[in-house]
Chains A and B, each alone.
Chain A
Amino acid sequence: GNSVTQMEGPVTLSEEAFLTINCTYTATGYPSLFWYVQYPGEGLQLLLKATKADDKGSNKGFEATYRKETTSFHLEKGSVQVSDSAVYFCARIGMDSNYQLIWGAGTKLIIKP
């Protein structure tokens, strides 16, 4: 089927820690993959994306690599800040979903100073 699975939160880290938020997907073919971020009280905004295998998306110190072998798109950041506290959503889009975004459940990230 079409699905996106993210690690459950909340994830709580100290400032400057290394972050990984896991995301795996199921799909027929090779969908485009996205990470969106939702800061408190706001709508979602695109953080980064990758449209083909082995592509690496990056923005604001965050990175994610499209791994077709493991059908994964894990989000990483080397040194998190308090301002990174938010909810992070993994999503995919492709022909097999009639070009609709399929969303993960979201992972809440809490960064403590």
Chain B
Amino acid sequence: NAGVTQTPKFRVLKTGQSMTLLCAQDMNHEYMYWYRQDPGMGLRLIHYSVGEGTTAKGEVPDGYNVSRLKKQNFLLGLESAAPSQTSVYFCASTNSFDTEAFFGQGTRLTVV
């Protein structure tokens, strides 16, 4: 009963390093999302995908790239990490727009 799985759970990066966060869902959901969560700011949408091979920008896309080569996976990339990208990142997936969104457990990223 995996649901949405994010890897890694924790990571520390130096400024300028790159990394990729992986989100995998086993519910055959069409829509997948990447959010960042910062204290007092709720969730902010970074990028999202409405199906395999499609991606779109959310509210705060700068400094991030995404890919959805397979329906079950949604990758979030940081090409050159900055301290402002220190945050907790959540992936989510849904089957349709107004049904329940399922979340991963989050990735805590610190950029020093």
Contacts and interface: CB of A to CB of B under 8 A. Distances in A.
Interface of A: 32, 36, 41-46, 49, 51, 89, 93, 99-101, 103-106
Contacts of A100: 45, 48, 58
Interface string B72-112: 00000000000000000010100001101111111000000
Given A42-B105, A44-B90, A49 B42 contact: no
A46 B101 contact: yes
Contacts of B103: 43-45
Interface of B: 4, 33, 40-45, 48, 58, 90, 92, 97-98, 100-106
Given A103-B43, A106-B42, A43 B98 contact: no
Contact of B40 (A41, A93, A99, A105): A105
B97 A49 contact: no
Given A100-B48, A100-B58, A46 B100 contact: yes
Contacts of B4: 43
A32 B94 CA distance: 14
Pick the 9 closest A-B CB pairs, nearest first: A43-B103, A99-B97, A105-B42, A32-B98, A103-B42, A46-B100, A103-B43, A44-B103, A43-B105
Given A43-B4, A45-B103, A89 B98 contact: no
A89 to B, nearest CB: 6
B43 A93 contact: no
The CB with the most chain A CB atoms within 10 A, among B98, B102, B103, is that of B98
